[in-house]
Amino acid sequence: MTTTRDEILIRIRTILSRPDLSFPPVAPQPLTAEERMTVTHAEGAPRQLAERFGQELTKLYGSYEILDSPVGARLALINRLTDWAAEDEAARKGPKPETYGQDRMVLGWAPEKLPVDGLAEALADTGWKLVAPARLATPEALDSVRFIRFGVTGVEAAFVATGSLLVVAGAGQSRSASLLPFRHIALIPFSRLYPTIEAWLAERRSAGDLEALLRAHAGWNLITGPSKSADIEMNLTLGVHGPKFVHAILFDDTRQAERAEIEDWEMDAVERVPGE
């Protein structure tokens, strides 16, 4: 016997009208305009937001650490690369393949685009090389990064409630750094943390630069944890279409800004002192 569409709808309405069901509520409160536009929520001081972001990312099979300064973030990045390289070496079976030195390279953004100063120099001092290709449009260019297993980028924004990264491509910000390597490290200053994507959009609209920002960048990637795929039986596989590991290094950059303001104020005060 064939069931008609009307019969299916009647069954659904009958089931939903049962008083013992917890959802949907019998008399829901109407949503405000702001609630209609927001499906997630997060709040707290910057450190609390960083902790919440890390918790959400962990649920998505990512990892994180929180540092008190950009200097600490720089050291954490080098330590993470060293640990990952040791893990890869320990897991390797058989002879080591020829990588043409790319096993000690890091595919990343241009140094001036990263939110941590002196990173290229610090990597060089510890035996690593930061590689920031302008384009990867030829076979030769692709061969030059083919065996690089580590990538490092900054973020346009990080959304706490979902553990998501907004990574924008542009000059000096190659999208390949967050897509090609096996392991991706995202450097996230507290000033780039937002409770939700709606909060970021509201700030950009308030600043009046949202349209210009959208027009200035062709590539926008919203990254929520490592690359994932599943078969029909829901067996999860990581790293199929992108990095298998995503690690966030969150750090407090607000103190650095405060110190800069104090230094500027002290310099102005010295210049105002008569006879100096």
Identify whether 27 is part of a domain: no
Query: What is the per-residue pLDDT for 132?
Result: 95
- Evaluate if residue 197 carries a pLDDT over 70: yes
Identify whether 275 is part of a domain: no
Contact 191, 85 (CB under 8 A): no
In angstroms, rounded to a whole number, what is the distance separating the alpha carbons of residues 266 and 276? 13
Query: In the chain, what percentage of residues exceed pLDDT 90?
Result: 61
Tokens 């542009």 identify what position? 170
**Is the preceding omega at residue 24 within 30 degrees of 0, hence cis?**
yes
Identify whether 25 is part of a domain: no
Q: What mean pLDDT comes out for the span 244-256?
A: 91
Contact 218, 155 (CB under 8 A): no
pTM above 0.85, yes or no: no
Contact 243, 179 (CB under 8 A): yes
Identify whether 199 is part of a domain: yes
E-only strand ranges, the chain: 63-67, 105-108, 129-131, 150-153, 157-159, 164-168, 183-189, 193-194, 220-223, 228-230, 236-238, 245-251
Query: Which of 39-43, 47-51, 260-264 has maximum average pLDDT?
Result: 47-51
In angstroms, rounded to a whole number, what is the distance separating the alpha carbons of residues 276 and 270? 7
Query: Which of 47-61, 127-141, 217-231 has maximum average pLDDT?
Result: 47-61
Identify whether 14 is part of a domain: no
Query: In the chain, what percentage of residues exceed pLDDT 70?
Result: 88
Identify whether 169 is part of a domain: yes
**Which residues, listed in sequence order, are joined to residue 245 by a DSSP beta bridge?**
183
Secondary structure (DSSP) of 127-175: T-EEE--S---SHHHHHTTTT--EEEE--SEEETTTTEEEEE-BTTB-T
pLDDT in tens, 84-94: 999 999 998 88
Identify whether 7 is part of a domain: no
Query: What is the per-residue pLDDT for 67?
Result: 97
Tokens 């994932």 identify what position? 228
Where in the sequence is the domain holding 178, given as residue range(s)? 43-228+239-256
Please give the tally of structural domains in the chain: 1
The CATH number of whichever domain residue 218 belongs to comes to: 3.40.50.10420
In angstroms, rounded to a whole number, what is the distance separating the alpha carbons of residues 223 and 163? 9
**Which residues, listed in sequence order, are joined to residue 228 by a DSSP beta bridge?**
238
Which DSSP letter does residue 96 get? P
pLDDT in tens, 220-229: 999 999 998 8
Q: What mean pLDDT comes out for the span 49-68?
A: 97
Query: What is the per-residue pLDDT for 262?
Result: 46
The dihedral sign for the CA sequence 72, 75, 79, 81: positive
Query: What is the per-residue pLDDT for 264?
Result: 54
Quick check: helix, strand or coil at residue 42? coil
Identify whether 168 is part of a domain: yes
Contact 60, 236 (CB under 8 A): no
Query: Which of 3-7, 175-179, 230-234 has maximum average pLDDT?
Result: 175-179
